[in-house]
Amino acid sequence: MKAPDEAPATGDGDKAHSRYRIEALAKGLDVLRLFDESVTSLKLREICDRTGIPMPTAFRVVATLEEGGYLERLPDGSIRPGVAVLLLGSAALRGSSLVQLSEQPLRHLAEESGETVNLGVLVGDQVLYLARLRNSDLVTANIQVGSTLPAAYTSMGKLLLAYLSDAELAATLARHDFGTDAGPNAATSLDQLRERLAVIREQGYALQDEEVAAGLRSVSVPVFGRDAKPAAAINIAVASSRHDLASLRGPLLTRLRATADEISRLLRAT
């Protein structure tokens, strides 16, 4: 018996997509996906234009999401994500097996080093921070779990980019604007970044020397699961006034690699 409101399948390849698809829910998710760190609010007309959803339907979708706290309306009529979205995102990050398995090793690393440690994954041309144990002395931007930074400038981002093919790298960074929102030593072109990535691939770790922002350095190594490509990266971030590059390549890198090995063993065991 066909389920109520079930859309008929049009072919074998479409069955998984159409049999249980709820169009109204899909449209709501399409609306929520419009928002990121560069798009923080939109007018209803902009939502229609970007999703192709007709105005009457978009109005109802937005009203439903607004009622549930997933969207909120500003005094000028603009629409932005609501608190409920943040709660969902936070719960998803906390529930990630990668985050859960990494938590204790990262905490030990933070205690042993006395520095800020982070766990991140590559999402498009950005690094998404999944875990962060921050040293109060670190002078940096307001980065927290769920924050993103341009992969081309961060140690974790460069480390993960180094494992991409040339074609994958070009596609990933196709929309990245080099030279903006960067520190004084950041790469200013894709060719310059490629040279840095080649060094990273050879040495197996990535350094960031005031590429994100002046006064900030970090060193990153990969975390592997069962695949040949990294599942994530971890780093130690320091103030440049506290550690030079030799320090990052020495004791801090040794501790970092030991932690990455521990997390990788836990991932492969799951």
Render pLDDT for 181-227 as a digit per residue (tens, 0 to 9).
Answer: 789 999 999 999 999 999 999 999 999 999 998 889 999 999 999 88
Task: Tell me the Ramachandran region of residue 193: left when phi exceeds 0, alpha when psi lies from -120 to 50, beta otherwise.
Answer: alpha
Task: Tell me the Ramachandran region of residue 215: left when phi exceeds 0, alpha when psi lies from -120 to 50, beta otherwise.
Answer: left
Question: What domains appear along the chain, each with residue ranges and CATH number?
Answer: 12-87 (1.10.10.10), 96-269 (3.30.450.40)
Mean pLDDT of the chain: 86
Which residue reads 């005094």 in tokens?
A: 75
Residue 112 scores a pLDDT above 80 = yes
Residue 40 scores a pLDDT above 50 = yes
d(CA 263, CA 101): 7
Residues with Cβ < 8 Å from 147, sequence gap 6 or more? 37, 128, 129
Render pLDDT for 122-154 as a digit per residue (tens, 0 to 9).
Answer: 888 889 888 898 876 655 556 788 788 999 999
- Name the pTM for this structure: 0.69
d(CA 227, CA 72): 41
Q: Return the pLDDT at 6.
A: 38
Cα 53 to Cα 65, 69, 78, 79, 106, distances in angstroms = 15, 21, 17, 16, 44
